[in-house]
Amino acid sequence: MSDQYEVHPHTKVVRGPNRASYNLTQIHDIIDDALICHVGTVVNGRPAMIPTAHWRVGERIYIHGASKNRILAAIADGAEACLCITHLDGLVMARSAFHHSANYRSVVIYGKGTVVSDDAEKMEHSRLFTEKLEPGRWDHIRHPNKQELKATMFLGFDLDQVSAKVRAGDPVDDDEDYDWSVWAGVLPCTTTWGAPVDDARIKPGFEGKGYQRG
């Protein structure tokens, strides 16, 4: 298998092609490092988009939600979708307003979704979703019952129409602006997790035992 995704006319990065990546490992990492993606499609002739959690299994990305969700239902009926993932890594503070920017890692995926209909597969994807949130949690929680599985739609999208775009590094100013009397550089941006907060109805003995994400 190639380590590069095939470039399609609609996945080719045209603006800033030097920041494009079609590398399989890099795209996997951007997907896996994120908890949320945005899913867009057309519903009743109008664009619609939702944020939702996602997870990846090999060369397929999965999402889930209520079976009656109008966006998921449209995709299940064959509407094409676009999934977007973005990490903000920093604000790029330039010497001119025009060259202010951001450092980021992003992935855009196009395709049609495939409905997961088998209950055993839906249960497995419930496990994979939960394990992405907290490794090992599945072994300690109640698993979905038949009614809950019925009320949940799982959709998978093949990673064959996909590209990434990444910006890193300093501002790129015009030569004549480098003597401008102002600070320039990057304000790094990171995601950090706070200490777990107990549920108001936590079972005695489990206080302060929440999972601490790194």
CATH of the domain at 132: 2.30.110.10
CA distance 170 to 185: 6
In a domain, 183, yes or no: no
Query: Is 90 exceeded by the pLDDT of residue 212?
Result: no
Least confident of 18-22, 100-104, 119-123: 18-22
Count the domains in the chain.
1
**Structure confidence by residue, pLDDT tens digits, 17-37:** 889 999 999 999 999 999 999
Is position 6 within any domain? no
Beta partners for residue 61, in sequence order: 56, 157
Mean pLDDT of 24-53: 97
Q: Nearest 5°: phi and psi at 126?
A: -60, -40
- Report pLDDT for 1: 65
Q: Is residue 69 part of a domain?
A: yes
Closest of 115, 109, 157, 133 to residue 53, by C-alpha? 133
Give a yes or no: residue 76 inside a domain: yes
Nearest CA to 80 out of 51, 49, 112 is that of: 112
Contact 109, 162 (CB under 8 A): yes
Rg for the chain, CA atoms, rounded: 21
Q: Are 85 and 34 in contact (CB under 8 A)?
A: yes
In this structure, the number of other CB atoms found within 10 A of the CB of residue 126 comes to 18
State what percent of residues in the chain have pLDDT above 90: 91
Give the pLDDT band (50/70/90) at residue 213. Answer: confident
Q: How far apart are CA 30 and CA 17, in angstroms?
A: 18
Mean pLDDT of 186-196: 94
Whether 56 shows a pLDDT value over 70: the answer reads yes
Q: Mean pLDDT across the chain, nearest whole number? A: 95
The answer to the question of residue 164 being in a domain is yes
Asked whether residue 54 is domain-assigned, the answer is yes
Q: Is residue 102 part of a domain?
A: yes
> Could you read off the pLDDT of 8-17 as tens digits, one per residue?
999 999 888 8
Structural domain boundaries enclosing 118:
17-172
In this prediction, residues 65-78 reach a mean pLDDT of 96
**93 pLDDT more than 70:** yes
pLDDT in tens, 134-170: 999 999 999 999 999 999 999 999 999 999 999 999 9
pLDDT class of 210 with cuts at 50, 70, 90: confident
Give 175's contacts (C-beta < 8 A, 6+ positions apart).
Answer: none
What pLDDT is stored for residue 135 in this prediction?
A: 94
Is 212 contained in some domain? no
